[in-house]
A and B are shown apart, each in its own frame.
Chain A
């Protein structure tokens, strides 16, 4: 863990230095030096513009993602636990799992308008299916011997579900949530760029079309940091819930 953190720091340092040098020598608006991007970033931060847009984006992200987690885990569990639910929904989930979600944006605009509801819906659609599939797989792959053991000690269906199936499926569910988080961030930026130009995605479109490359890169880097922070958050929750699994896995 420690060596990885060190390697990360070194990698960032080298990359930043290369960028800075490239920016200064090329002297082009297309690749502004990192120091200039940093200054612009600071200016955007101080003006409050970045924070206001970031807050707007985060609210969309949180709402859509939490909705996807709650509904995705629920439906995934139902599909994994009840065979007829799986047979009934399998077709749609599989078809939509690999479908490009951007194709649904025009439909969402027609249904929900151009407001925050549509953006939340996009985030939801991006994250939902991968969570369903992972949860479903996790629930189905629970070792039968644990269920049999629980039954032999007198477990009712409820006990089997809460004491065996749910904890046993938790690593797979968390893996789905992890993937879903990444997709949710993509959905958030996509929605802000394709629907109404708001949030950090809107800023990208705005600065991009204005050739304000330093501001453009400042926003892009902010989104990268945001994406990484959200992933870290999920991983921290994951470690809390399934710490036992990390130790079992032989890598």
Chain B
């Protein structure tokens, strides 16, 4: 509650939640500092304030894979949009590579939950979309788009329209579009939330393989504890109303991670159980 007044002083106070590894300020790729955000809703001239995020701090290392997990209403998507520069925040600051975020930039690309592919464009033209906006010449655009379609395994589908593809393939196209601009940071907003469980697992494995090759910092929003732990180096647990960082957990599982084996690992089981307990407590105190 005191976050707003403190942050207006302009001082940055190191917060207790940062892990030792991330506390070195210059190393951070993404630095979220005491960010707060409220939405105002006016119904019949009565304005109610909804606190979406309160005093959120987070420091992310280059090439780190971070999962953010939390129940609906914990502001995780809001946080992601703020890191992307799509929506402003009330107080605090967000730095990417030590530069303040003031809007979307070429260093970040988003993968959307609902894919957000344009139905009037072919798969190839959808991937080219992000390159088009950056004024890249036509031939180079097509070549780059094809290259990334190949990396996500869609090279044979470039002339298809999105509706002709399965959900999993559509999200591969969404991923190719984001990768094509070669961002430093990949912002993924529950990207596998709308595909079936089997496809989801395959996409997770492919994403990890891609991430290990491409050297990207990934911020991955999810509802799934299993997914969060399987993918990430660290899991950020958030609690709702207002959204706060409850805990940041290291995932001490070796990479590359074998999709089946790692899930039987006691460390994996303990971690997911612990996260569930943590979330449950937060949700019970809500209701």
What residues make up the interface of A, taking CB atoms closer than 8 Å to B? 145-146, 148-155, 159, 163-164, 167-168, 170, 242, 244-245, 247-248
Contacts and interface: CB of A to CB of B under 8 A. Distances in A.
Interface in B49-95: 84, 86
B110 interface: yes
B110 A152 contact: yes
A245 B118 CA distance: 11
A163 B132 contact: yes
Interface in B99-113: 104-106, 108-110, 112
Contact of B104 (A154, A168, A248): A154
Contact of B116 (A149, A159, A163): A149
Given A152-B86, A155-B133, A245 B110 contact: no
Given A152-B86, A152-B110, A153-B129, A245 B120 contact: yes
B14 interface: no
19 contacts: A145-B114, A145-B116, A146-B116, A148-B86, A148-B116, A149-B112, A149-B116, A150-B133, A152-B86, A153-B104, A153-B130, A153-B134, A154-B106, A159-B133, A168-B118, A242-B120, A244-B120, A248-B119, A248-B163
B161 interface: yes
Contacts of A153: 104, 109-110, 129-130, 133-134, 177, 181
B111 to A, nearest CB: 10
B122 to A, nearest CB: 9
A245 B189 CA distance: 27
Given A152-B84, A153-B177, 18 more contacts: A148-B116, A149-B110, A149-B112, A152-B86, A152-B109, A152-B110, A153-B104, A153-B129, A153-B133, A153-B134, A155-B133, A159-B133, A163-B129, A168-B120, A170-B120, A242-B120, A244-B161, A248-B119
